[in-house]
Amino acid sequence: MAVHAHPDDESSKGAATMARYVSEGVEVLVVTCTGGERGDILNPAMDRPEVKADIGRVRNEEMARAREILGVGQRWLGFVDSGFPEGDPPPPLPEGCFALEPLETAAAPLVRAVREFRPHVILTYDEKGGYPHPDHVKTHEISAEAFDAAGDPDRYPDEGEPWQPLKLYYHMTFNKERILALHTAMLDAGLESPYHDWLERFDERPQLWDVTTRVPCADHFETRDKALLAHATQIDPNGFWFVVPLDVQREAWPTEDYHLARSLVDTELPEDDLFAGIREKVCL
């Protein structure tokens, strides 16, 4: 189960991993907390009045295309996008948005989803949200809550029969080692790197967690990119996401990366499989 804040997050973080496991027969569910109703239109070709007027419906349709491309199931939690507050000081968050929901209110439908889907592994963001969008931070909070609570029959008793996931991971998609490897590979290929500013920002804001788990999935990078392009309001086909050629990516960094935050099974680090320790446990 991959828990994400908005439609498009599932395609920019962990999509090739999900596509790989789907190809191996693993059942994968994306949980999308909000509808992305307050998201900006980031693709100039989609910046049209009729799209802006019905952005929630458009993003729902984009999500449907992306999940079909990835081969995953998908479930909406139904909360309202909080938007990204900008300014100094930032404005207050809008009333009724996801980030302002009480923890138990926001976590309850995720606990139900965990108990119904019964995942062994949950993917989510770290406590900073990967980046400080209030919906990403809230997604972390409810994911941690659901991981702890779903197996406890005394917590959320109205949300279904208990089920305890075994491993909780944080996405480490934009870790410094990967970005530096891609930057170097672009320069070595005589191409302009898009990552100069990224490397400076790493020095200003060190990453919180080490990478513990690198999942080989280079064969599914093309599927990831197709899923990204399905989110046409958010992804410019001529933009940043596609600057590094796929062959350069596959050679320089053929994995997607994670931090193992919690595990109820024994596993040796580093890992190359989200199900390390679980496969062994199931087989015993």
> Binding site residues for Zn(2+), as ranges?
6, 9, 136
DSSP H or E stretch at residue 27? none
- Which pLDDT band, with edges at 50, 70 and 90, does 281 fall under? low
Question: Averaged over 71-85, what is the pLDDT?
Answer: 97
| pLDDT tens readout for residues 9-52 | 999 999 999 999 999 999 999 999 999 999 999 999 999 999 99
Q: Give yes or no for residue 211 having a pLDDT over 60.
A: yes
Q: For 135-177, write each residue's pLDDT tens digit.
A: 999 999 999 999 999 999 999 999 999 999 999 999 999 999 9
Alpha carbon distance 160, 157 (integer Å)? 7
Give the pLDDT mean for 52-59: 95
What pLDDT, on a 0 to 100 scale, did the predictor assign at position 282?
A: 55
Is the predicted pLDDT of residue 234 greater than 80, yes or no? yes
Residue 71: predicted pLDDT: 98
- The set of long-range contacts for 38-42, using a CB threshold of 8 Å and a minimum separation of 24, is 38/80, 38/81, 38/82, 38/83, 38/84, 38/94, 38/97, 39/6, 39/8, 39/81, 39/83, 39/233, 39/234, 41/233, 41/234, 42/233, 42/234, 42/235, 42/236, 42/239
> What is the pLDDT confidence band of residue 208, given thresholds at 50, 70 and 90?
confident
Q: Mean of the per-residue pLDDT values for the chain?
A: 95
Inter-residue contact 227 to 74 (CB < 8 Å): no
Inform me whether the pLDDT recorded for 114 exceeds 80: yes
- In three-state secondary structure terms, 32 is strand
From the annotation, which residues make up the binding site?
6, 9, 136
DSSP 81: P
- Average pLDDT estimate for 103-109: 98
**Is residue 284's pLDDT more than 60?**
no
Extents of the domains making up the chain: 2-174+210-283
pLDDT at 128 over 80: yes
- From CA 108, how far away is CA 191, in angstroms rounded? 48
Q: Answer yes or no: is pLDDT of 69 > 70.
A: yes
Mean pLDDT (whole number) for 80-93: 92
What per-residue confidence (pLDDT) applies to 205? 76
- 36 in Cβ contact with 6 (< 8 Å): yes
Q: For position 88, what pLDDT does the model report?
A: 85
pLDDT of residue 13: 98
Helix (H, G, I), strand (E, B) or coil at 257: strand
Q: Is the pLDDT of residue 243 over 80?
A: yes
Give ∠ CA 24-216-170 in degrees, rounded to 5. Answer: 95
User: What pTM was estimated for this model as a whole?
Assistant: 0.96
CATH class in words for 2-174+210-283: alpha beta
